[in-house]
Chain A
Amino acid sequence: MLSWLAKTDGVAGAFIKANRHPSGGNCFVLTTPGGKKLAGGNGPQGAEHALKLGFEQWQKLSEAERKNLPPGQEIQPPEAKRCAPPPGGLIVATYVRNLKRDADGKLARITRDDIKDRKRYPDWSMVYTEPARFNLWLTETEWKSLLPAGADRGKVIEVPEPIRRRIFCYHLADGTYGLPGHWQPAHIRSGTMSLTVEETSPLLRLRLRGAALLATDADLAKAHHGYDVKLDGLLEYDPAKKRFTRFDIAAIGDCWGGDWEGGRFKRPGRAPLGVAFQLVPGNSAVDRVPPLVHMDRKQVYDAYFR
């Protein structure tokens, strides 16, 4: 955990300090609001252990002990502002999922049985067959830039470069194995994204089309990671509500390279990877998770919104 996050615990980090758990990947702790550590665990069974043992301890507490909360004070460090969605902005959830082609060449989800093939799915666990969830943020100025002036049916506009680059670099990266890497702008070997006006009333309906070739080397044979992807989407803007009411995009293409920490879990050759984008209300903690792990860092924040 980042030290600035710990300082938001109301007592300058004392609550978190009292609820430490030995390192070892992901760690889990069950605690009381007052800070009495009930149980902890880490690793694959860590959550189950912390919950099972922790709730046994919880049951032994009186109601007063459960609700006890010593005085504290809310502190919002400057980093917290960079981890909050932009005011008036748009939050679009993205789901990244590994797919397969079945015997008929049709796209399909990967099953528990599939990953028993350890050559095709090296060291995979079931979680890699599920979609990984991230968020795309657009500022109010940015989402308004998607609205064409004088929208006539059939009109085509290019998606502004900052939005296009952000989607390509940060949101078409394979994050299914854990922390995703990101493409550098130089890794965009080709990329297009446009909007076509399909309807103008009662809703403004825009069809998004795009394609990108993302690769760590211009010579694809040398590129240790790559994604050759096409995008299709439907966006709807309600003039009466003055907001987007639909922001559905599906991206599908062939990906290679495995994870971003040495290429673990790499499937042979190229394999299909899908990314689905969907508008979310932004009122849950999951919806408000920053797009990048280190969004609290100014240089990372600035690069994202460049």
Chain B
Amino acid sequence: MTLGLASPLAQARDDDFAALQRMILPGKGDSRWLGVAWQPASNIWAARQKAAREGKPIFLWYMAGEPLGPC
């Protein structure tokens, strides 16, 4: 996908604008993590209840590793 706007937007027409937005947005195969049914980390109990109801395991993703640390 290419777009012929070396210095875009100043004279962008609607179709240029739409093409540029499509170029930036996730394409086929991009950002596959967005397809996961994530649950809010700010209510883990709700996620546990939902998982129990549906008979599913929970996949936890921690940033920076230490669950009870500052971050």
Contacts and interface: CB of A to CB of B under 8 A. Distances in A.
B24 A13 contact: no
Given A8-B43, A74-B46, A248 B6 contact: no
A17 B68 contact: yes
Contacts of A278: 21, 25
Given A9-B45, A80-B43, A108-B2, A1 B62 contact: yes
Contacts, number: 210
Contacts of B49: 10, 33, 69
Contact of B26 (A8, A29, A95): A95
Contact of B12 (A67, A232, A276): A232
Interface string B1-16: 1111110111010100
A93 B26 CA distance: 12
B6 A25 contact: no
Contacts of A248: 17, 21
Given A10-B44, A285-B40, A106 B2 contact: yes
A57 to B, nearest CB: 9
B56 to A, nearest CB: 8
B55 A63 contact: yes
Please report whether the interface of chain B is mostly helix, strand, loop or mixed according to DSSP: loop
Of the four ranges (under 10, 10 to 19, 20 to 34, 35 or more), the interface on chain A belongs to: 35 or more
A26 interface: yes
Interface string A231-269: 111100000000000001010100000000000000000
Interface string B48-63: 1101110111111111
Interface of B: 1-6, 8-10, 12, 14, 17, 20-21, 23-27, 30-31, 34, 37-46, 48-49, 51-53, 55-71
Interface of A: 1-3, 5-6, 8-10, 13, 15-17, 19-35, 38, 42, 47, 50-51, 54-55, 58, 63, 66-69, 72-76, 79-80, 83-84, 95-97, 99, 101-102, 104-109, 130-131, 133, 230-234, 248, 250, 252, 274-276, 278, 284-286, 288
